[in-house]
Copies of this chain bind each other. A is one copy, B any other.
C-alpha cells in the first residue's frame, strides 16, 4: 500500500520536473513525510535530482538526507556542489552528520567538507567522531534543550517557542547548574500541566537516568527500554551534560545488534549486508567456513579411530548423519534459549544453576523420546534390534549432553565477558558432533560382536 503511493508520488514529481513547475512541486512535496520524499528522490535520474537541488533549500534537503542510508547519502553529496553540501550538513543533526562523516572513505574529502561547514556545527560533529564507535558518545546528538532550576514554567515555555523547532526532541528538558552539570530533568508534560509561575526546581526530577559517554550502545538501548524513555542524557566523567540519545536512534541500534547476533549465531558476522559483492562476502565468510572445516577434520579423526569397527559393520556409518544432526539441533536449541535470555536479561533473575538444570532435564527427556522412536523405526527398517539399541542408547546419551553443552558454553563465555553469540551455533554443533560420534562409536565397538 505504501509502495503504491510512493510510485504515484514519483510520477507526480517527474511530471513537475518535466513541466518545470517549481511552485506546485514545493506546495505538495514539502508536505510529504521526509522518508517518503527520500524514497521518491532515490529513484529519480541524476539529471532530475540536479534540478531538485535548485528547487529545495539546503535546509529542506537536510531532512531528506537524514532518512537516507549511507550509500545514498554519499551518492547525493557527490552530486551536489560543495557549498550546497556543506550548508545542508550544517542543518543535519549532529549525530546523523557524524554517522555520515564516520563512513566517508577519503580523509581529504571529509576534511574539506568539515572546513566548509559552520565552525560550531563542525565542532559538534568532530566531538561525536572523537568517541569510540558504538558508545553513547558516538551515537548521541548535540541538539537538546538545557534549562536552569531557577527558571519558571513561563520562562521555559517562552524559550521553547523560540528554539523548539531546531532541536531533536523538546519532550525532555535537561536542567543543568552553572557549571553545566546535569542536575535534573523535566518532561514537557510536567511543564505543561504545572502552573506558569512554578519554579523548575520544584517540578524537576533529580533522579535522572543518564548514560556515561563511554557506555556501550546496547546498554544505552536497554536503559531506554527499561525506563520507557524517549531519550537519555549523556554525561562525561565530570557529570557535564554533553548530548542525548533518542529512542529512534536506539531502535536502529537494536536492529543493528540483532543483525550482529544472528550473524554470529550463523558464523556470518559482518556479511549480512546485502550491498556486499560476492567477493567481499566470500572474504568475510570463508574464514569461518575454513576454520569450521578444520574442526570437521577433527571429527573425521574421531571416526578414523574406529575404522576397524566400521570395517566390520559398514552399516554403522549410515547413522553418522542422524547422530550428528540430532546432537547439533539439540545444542542449537539450548544455545538459542541462553542467548535470548542473556540478551533480554530475563535469566539474571533465575540464576545459572536453575537454568542449567532445566536444560539438562530437557535434554534427558528429549533423549528418551528420541530413543523410543528410534528403537522402533530402526528395528523395523534395518531388521536389527541390536543396531537399533546401539543407536537409541547413543542418541539418549548424546542429546542429554548436547543440551547441557549448548547451554553451558555461552554462559562460560559470558562469564569471561565475551559476547555469548561468539560461541556460535556452528562451533557448538561441531563440538556436539564430536561428542555424539564418540559416544556412538564407543558403544558400537563394545557391542560389535553382537551385530
Closest beta carbon of chain B to A390's beta carbon, Å: 14
Question: A321 near B333 (CB under 8 angstroms)?
Answer: no
Asked if A385 is an interface residue, CB under 8 A from chain B, the answer is no
Asked if A62 is an interface residue, CB under 8 A from chain B, the answer is no
In the bound assembly, the distance between CA atoms of A160 and B315 in angstroms comes to: 78
Question: B329 near A267 (CB under 8 angstroms)?
Answer: yes
Q: Which of chain B's residues has its CB closest to A355's CB?
A: B274
Contact of A258 among B258, B276, B357 (CB under 8 A): B258
Question: A370 near B317 (CB under 8 angstroms)?
Answer: no
Q: Which of chain B's residues has its CB closest to A170's CB?
A: B189
Q: Which of chain B's residues has its CB closest to A365's CB?
A: B282
Given A279-B365, A366-B282, CB of A265 within 8 Å of CB of B265: yes
Asked if A326 is an interface residue, CB under 8 A from chain B, the answer is yes
Given A33-B227, A320-B320, CB of A426 within 8 Å of CB of B332: yes
Residues facing B in A257-303 (CB within 8 A) are 258-259, 261-263, 265-268, 271-279, 281-282, 285-286, 288-290, 292-293, 295-297, 299-301, 303
Residues of B within 8 A of A297 (CB): 322, 377, 381
Question: B188 near A329 (CB under 8 angstroms)?
Answer: no
Asked if A123 is an interface residue, CB under 8 A from chain B, the answer is no
Asked if A52 is an interface residue, CB under 8 A from chain B, the answer is no
In the bound assembly, the distance between CA atoms of A239 and B121 in angstroms comes to: 43
Residues of B within 8 A of A251 (CB): 224-225, 247, 250-251, 254
Give the size category of A's interface with B: 35 or more
Binding-face segment, A19-27, A100-108, A306-314, A410-418: A306-314
Question: A314 near B318 (CB under 8 angstroms)?
Answer: no
In the bound assembly, the distance between CA atoms of A278 and B365 in angstroms comes to: 8
Most chain B CB atoms below 10 A, which of A266, A315, A335, A395? A266
In the bound assembly, the distance between CA atoms of A191 and B169 in angstroms comes to: 14
Question: B292 near A326 (CB under 8 angstroms)?
Answer: yes
Question: A290 near B369 (CB under 8 angstroms)?
Answer: yes
Q: Which of chain B's residues has its CB closest to A247's CB?
A: B247
Contact of A307 among B224, B281, B314 (CB under 8 A): B314
Residues of B within 8 A of A136 (CB): none
Report 13 cross-chain contacts, Cβ distance below 8 Å, ordered by A residue: A35-B228, A164-B192, A263-B340, A268-B336, A285-B333, A299-B325, A303-B318, A303-B320, A304-B315, A307-B318, A317-B317, A317-B320, A329-B426
In the complex, besides A273-B346, A307-B314, A311-B314, 18 extra interface pairs with C-beta distance below 8 angstroms are A33-B209, A225-B252, A225-B255, A250-B251, A262-B336, A263-B340, A274-B358, A278-B360, A281-B358, A289-B329, A293-B373, A300-B319, A303-B320, A304-B318, A307-B315, A307-B318, A310-B314, A320-B320
User: Which residues of A pack against B, CB within 8 Å?
Assistant: 31-33, 35, 157, 160-161, 164-165, 170-171, 188-189, 192-193, 205-207, 209, 224-228, 230, 247-248, 250-252, 254-255, 258-259, 261-263, 265-268, 271-279, 281-282, 285-286, 288-290, 292-293, 295-297, 299-301, 303-304, 307, 310-311, 314-315, 317-322, 324-326, 328-330, 332-333, 335-337, 339-341, 343-344, 346-347, 350, 355, 357-362, 364-366, 369-370, 373-374, 377, 381, 395, 399, 425-426, 429-430, 433, 437
